[in-house]
Chain A
């Protein structure tokens, strides 16, 4: 996201250091800043906001909060409290209904009357244009400003273009409906494109037509223009999956859809609405309604994560003190306290006596007003900084086993009440509604999923001491949180065991701020937040540079992996014989396993044999034979799909003698080696072979490859060939001759191969193929003639006879 340096300064109550320093702090502790560009008298930072921080940091406010945190400067967020004019009422102007409640977490609406649409003031234009955005008019610019500032996409509708748009004095409010589109319903968007929708797309509509593709783009039919005098402001929170599906199927990616599909916190909608009201009033005049319509059916409890300093240091390898951790938590702006977990559970539990029982109660939405037996326990321990699983059976496997004699306050007692083994119907005491209470599973659901218990459990409670137990009692008994006598209550007649979740060592309990959707729940025992997420927060602020590298404890080298051992053994044999290894493409024109999304028509299949790739490589290398050596001898060990996946060995050469010799060596060195011979090469199923071979007993392979090689780029220019043959005295070796040639043939000599040797009593004749090539240009015959002449002169000088 492009971020303006000056705009960030608006939210920081002390002068910022240079843009470069800000960028560095972000890169090392939060997000990589790819570029810092000067734009006018401002700087634009291109911040690569991590995908799990888009909900709070695809915004200037969010990035400013990060910068303030990392540079230890005071953060000054905008004020989100705009009081409108009581004479204008949103609830008289519109009636909101949300049939698609499943996909709408929050919908906030507010009207503004008597606005004057026109150009934006200079400050607003500059803010947008610095970031490369176009200024359109004051109202539209205000919506873009608020999105760039808060991260909440907001929209303004022309109120009078809404069906039934009535004069202020009329008693009938217009209907605004957030619903699923009808099959074939169309909408023309602001950029004059028309889309055909279906019931998987969410729209904001009036009683006649769709006005907006919810979370993606606004419609042209309700767009703000120079005649607009009354606007409807809208800030909503849509379900991420719904927006993502719509955006993908319509192929419409916008700044809004990008944010919604990564999830936006519902708490932001109201704040953004206040801010939008303020800016609209400021730049376009008008009277903002005194009231806001706020559809917010399910408000989630904040997540609560527990952590201890030891745990932080254990995961990171750092050496933080309690004070370090506390300072960082405070700087992060997280609410935290230190508790003794068991004491805290015992303190909180009795305060919940009387809360009604609800089977399957959610810790996020039903607590602290409704509980079932295990959510009661999970909730309490989360608030004491101890993460435990959500369901009874999981809690039983999760806790430390203790005996009845060791039972202490804070321990959990498990029981089995439904001994019939059948699902039974129970009546909810509060409402008379009948619900089927399932027989408890004998298998864990989230924690160590699938762990089996010999007998099922269906109830648990917390021991308070003095023979008392507190539990969220089922609807067949008390139907609410009660304290009873452990020996007397019918709920614990059939005790199955006792467990302890924690000792009383102090822990921090951290409340996750509403905007940090990345610090959210997980399965198993992470139902109220994941401790590793919190430790990451602490670690990145602390600085990973402070962690010293440590060595792993020494461990012996293991015996080599069988496939690795044998495939490399084959390689060693082949390279020794003179074959060179190639690797070719897996995607081929023909095959048995087809790709659904190939890169090209002729790359649709996974290769069914290495032959296709090897043939191509063989041809190319044959053309380059003078450069690469003759005869061309290549092999490949690679995966093929015929259609089963397995490793194949392919060997290719023209020389039939070499081929059969090589095959013989392989059959000798590797027991059970067989290959099929075709016209072009031999192919062996290595997977099948390796399966039958014994495990390797080696711990390492022969060393290969020289060090320090620098790659010489392959020349695109043609090569020139020359041969030279020379008589030399018997004592002169082939190496001596080659040395003379390479020293005198100039820099364009790229290869020298001896092809003949003929000995007489007192002299020897050596003959060589020479290859010349430049990687900068095409060489001429004249240039090479010159080089050859040089060599011949030198040879004559040695007294040798050039043939």
Chain B
């Protein structure tokens, strides 16, 4: 219950500021880029060529009057990483939070627009071990409880090795509950070591430098943290949601 008081920030803003603060503490900068992107930055530079089944992994909104510079709505914030690497030499530590778009039917857990968080570290030695370390620290500070990080094999064209990242369930602490479907683990994001092709595409020598990248839905992180069950509530402009934060 509340009475008329100061205004409220949108919970996604609160989450993004929280995330920015956590990563800033690890020396990460924030990078940004356009939401309407070129096919090159959204796909080709990320080792996702046209006419390849890999494109099916993303359902894309295309612009009617597409040009070389602007053909679609970005399906992830990975293009921001490419743009950043083209203009900055390693060592690199960035997060790229931003709005992304997927051509998907909407329901309680799917929206056509949502906020994604991607992270990138490129230097001479960073590896899956530091990926685990960075994510463990992020989960602890964001969810407020110590969390174990588990990696499983996966596939994304722009990382090799590619992994799914599971976090130990912060609600039941690994004992099993509804949120973690009784397994004790929550599947939370994808990640991996940046593919040498991607590094070559931006003029970084993969023999000298290596990096990891990860990507998660901020909406999902938020919903997990606060028990919000319907993602659509975040975009209706309904103060009955916003005022709770």
Give A residues with C-beta under 8 Å from B. Answer: 27-32, 50-53, 240-241, 244-245, 261-262, 314-318, 446-449, 522-524, 526, 530-533, 535-536, 539-540, 544-545, 547-552, 554-558, 560-561, 563-564, 568, 571, 574-587, 593-599, 606, 613-614, 616-618, 620-621, 624, 627-630, 632-634, 636, 639, 641, 645, 699-701, 703-705, 707-714, 738, 742, 749-754
A561 contacts B32, C-beta separation under 8 Å: yes
Bound complex: CA A700 to CA B29 (Å): 11
- What 6 pairs between A and B have smallest CB-CB spacing? A617-B237, A317-B129, A555-B27, A317-B127, A536-B161, A549-B132
A575 contacts B6, C-beta separation under 8 Å: yes
B196 contacts A581, C-beta separation under 8 Å: no
Provide 24 A-B residue pairs closer than 8 Å at the C-beta atoms, listed in order of the A residue.
Answer: A314-B125, A317-B130, A447-B200, A522-B197, A532-B160, A536-B153, A536-B160, A545-B151, A549-B129, A549-B132, A557-B24, A579-B7, A583-B10, A587-B112, A594-B64, A620-B237, A621-B237, A628-B243, A634-B239, A709-B226, A711-B241, A713-B229, A751-B1, A753-B4
A241 contacts B51, C-beta separation under 8 Å: yes
B237 contacts A561, C-beta separation under 8 Å: no
> B1's contact among A578, A583, A585, A749, by CB below 8 Å, is which?
A749
Tally of contact residues, B, Cβ under 8 A: 100
Q: Write out the residue numbers on chain B whose beta carbons fall within 8 Å of the beta carbon of A245.
A: 51
Q: Write out the residue numbers on chain B whose beta carbons fall within 8 Å of the beta carbon of A699.
A: 24
Q: Per-residue 0/1 for B43-62: is the Cβ within 8 Å of any A Cβ (1 yes, 0 no)? A: 00000000101100100011
A315 contacts B210, C-beta separation under 8 Å: yes
Q: Per-residue 0/1 for B188-222: is the Cβ within 8 Å of any A Cβ (1 yes, 0 no)? A: 00000101110010010100001000000000000
In the assembled complex, B163 has its CB within 8 A of some CB on chain A:
yes
Bound complex: CA A209 to CA B195 (Å): 47
List residues 214-245 of chain B with CB under 8 A from any CB of chain A. 226-229, 233-245
Q: Write out the residue numbers on chain B whose beta carbons fall within 8 Å of the beta carbon of A599.
A: 103, 105-106, 112
A742 contacts B1, C-beta separation under 8 Å: yes
Bound complex: CA A446 to CA B64 (Å): 33
Give B residues with C-beta under 8 Å from A. Answer: 1-14, 17-18, 20-21, 24-32, 34-36, 51, 53-54, 57, 61-66, 73, 93, 99, 101, 103, 105-106, 112-113, 121, 125-134, 136-137, 144, 149-155, 160-164, 193, 195-197, 200, 203, 205, 210, 226-229, 233-245
> B236's contact among A548, A620, A705, by CB below 8 Å, is which?
A620
Question: Given A583-B12, A713-B229, A749-B1 in contact, is the A627-B240 Cβ separation under 8 Å?
Answer: yes
Question: Given A558-B27, A571-B9, A645-B35 in contact, is the A539-B161 Cβ separation under 8 Å?
Answer: yes
B243 contacts A581, C-beta separation under 8 Å: no
Q: Write out the residue numbers on chain B whose beta carbons fall within 8 Å of the beta carbon of A582.
A: 10, 237-239, 242
B195 contacts A552, C-beta separation under 8 Å: no
Question: Given A561-B29, A593-B63, A628-B243 in contact, is the A552-B130 Cβ separation under 8 Å?
Answer: yes
The smallest C-beta distance from A280 to any residue of chain B, in angstroms, reads: 31
Question: Given A447-B200, A448-B203, A714-B233 in contact, is the A752-B64 Cβ separation under 8 Å?
Answer: no
Task: Specify the chain A residue showing the minimal Cβ separation from B210.
Answer: A315
From B103, B129, B132, name the one whose CB has the most chain A CB atoms within 10 angstroms. B129
Question: Given A532-B196, A579-B7, A753-B4 in contact, is the A624-B240 Cβ separation under 8 Å?
Answer: yes
The smallest C-beta distance from A458 to any residue of chain B, in angstroms, reads: 23
Q: Write out the residue numbers on chain B whose beta carbons fall within 8 Å of the beta carbon of A563.
A: 32
B17 contacts A704, C-beta separation under 8 Å: yes
Q: Write out the residue numbers on chain B whose beta carbons fall within 8 Å of the beta carbon of A753.
A: 3-4
A578 contacts B6, C-beta separation under 8 Å: yes
Task: Specify the chain A residue showing the minimal Cβ separation from B137.
Answer: A551
Q: Write out the residue numbers on chain A whose beta carbons fall within 8 Å of the beta carbon of B125.
A: 314
> B130's contact among A523, A551, A597, by CB below 8 Å, is which?
A551
Task: Specify the chain A residue showing the minimal Cβ separation from B225.
Answer: A709
Q: Write out the residue numbers on chain B whose beta carbons fall within 8 Å of the beta carbon of A51.
A: 53-54, 57, 155
Q: Write out the residue numbers on chain A whose beta carbons fall within 8 Å of the beta carbon of B65.
A: 593-594
